[in-house]
Structure 1
Amino acid sequence: MGFYDGIFGMPLLINGQTIDDSAIDQEFSAIKAHYESLSSISCCERDDEFRGYAKENITFRALLTQEAERTIPEPSDEEVYRAFQKLKDEHGGSDQFYANMGLVPDQDELIRDDLRLNLKVESLREKTCSALATPTEEECRSFYDQNIEQYSEEEEVRASHIFKSVRKTEERETIFKNLCEVRQKLVGGADFNQLACKHSDKPEEEIDLGFFKRGELMDEFEIVTFSMQTGEISPIFATPHGFHLAKVTERKTGSPKPFKSVRENIEAEIIAQRQDAKLQKLVDELKKSAKVEYIEPEEPINSQDHN
């Protein structure tokens, strides 16, 4: 049995503070959505791992918040007021703020209480990280060299395509056979644009798709075209809209951006990593004396037991 097996569905108690299951579920969903966006998981294969991350993240924030409440002075009413006004401005005004957040003005006192706590946590973060050194030029250059892919232009492909819509199931075989004949002509050297104008269901101006990056077109289309060489004719492939034939006409490789153009971003990234490490060190110290418990839910009483 793994470390996290058997603790799901149990309320989390951190130094006497109860964390609802709903908060853990929300954190879990955010973590899983992040990994799904990276296409690194499918379905539920890593759910146990992600629920473990969710509990760790919530424990981190709870201990940091408790330490802020214990050690940081209360912010002034003026500071809370300015924070509230800034929050409203970020949402486009007072009315839009309440609409976006699903709140009403009667809840302002609760909102101000949350803002007071947020200001204390932010003060603790600043206090903890105040002595961090600014990255040197050498450190920034080294980070750039070690993470060059992160600071490269995205690869781009330019492609033209022939599209045939499939409106009826019985048409699929005929359309596919016709496209096979078209593909044979293309592989034999026929002009792609001429055949596309003759056979595609798209107008002539939509045959050339221009340059596109990953994430801009349908997954099925990108999987095929980004795997092709310039001048290559694709196999016939299907999308939810119909059948396609594609030809890659140009490619732009993802060349590195100049160091000077990303220098500020690199410095900010290094600082953020150092801040995270400093805060993690603080929380690790707090964990040594913290009491973190998983409370088993009480079993419902069976009325027959009292008969």
Structure 2
Amino acid sequence: MMIKRLLFFGALALLLICSLGCERSAEKSLGRDELVRINDVSISIEEFREMSERQPLEGKMRLVSEKGLRDFLENYVITREVLYQEAKRKGLDRNKDVIAKVEDFRRAMLIDALLEQALKGKGEASEAEVQKYYKENQELFAEPREVRVRHIVVNSEPVLKEVLTRLARGESFERLAYTYNVDRSREDGGNLGYIRRGQLAPSFAQFEEAAFSLRKKGQISEIVRTPLGYHLIQLEETRGTALRPFDQVKERIRIFLQAKKRQEAYLEYVKETKSRAKIIVNEKLWAEEEKKEERPKEKRK
């Protein structure tokens, strides 16, 4: 990180030296720390650095060279200010719709900052909590030991759309597999027989996950992409029952618990914050508004 910062500020220094050398005459009217002036608006070198620092990591990586910094100055900093000034010149800063959108955005940013502060650390799930959930909800992680499936596999999106259209019309999955499949299963209407967890190559992990997520006979999976093409999988039959190992599902449990705890913390925080606020609803006015909503429904009847 330190090396990246040194490269960044080194490139920034190079940009300034080039600017000083190339535009001496133009800069006589600029202040010592004034990097650029657009009409009557001045942007200092410190402001430029702050804008650069606020860029996401991917953006910062483009700023380690003099060319990258110059592009950022010309195509982001200057361009943005020019367009902003033009919008103000046209009076858009006084437009009611624009003002309302800006206010909505400002409120949303403030609320996001508040919640980030209030819920910090509230969504963590410990290893013990993850294991406890796994032990107490093992029925959620039980699945067939083996599944017998068919698939339709095609190698282009236009053909896939054609297959989906015909399936939506109620045509036979098996017959469509016989018509469209690009692998040897075509001869048997896409029948793949029984498969077990871990039986398929790693590149077909998504295919395996989709196949074992099917629960009802005849159920069809979402589209799955593998090196072979686009697949649709249909469950034919299941055999036996197996519990998925903890290591295979622990991250999924952790994500679920983190989201659950964060949502609970959010609801509790909102409840607590509301309890401290003085809230009065004009019930009479609300009742009148409800009546207005009901009248159009009555007319439609």
TM range (shorter): 0.3 to 0.5
Higher relative contact order (CA 8 A, sep 6+): 1
| TM-score of the superposed pair, with normalisation by structure 1 | 0.33
Say which structure is richer in helix.
2
| TM-score of the superposed pair, with normalisation by structure 2 | 0.33
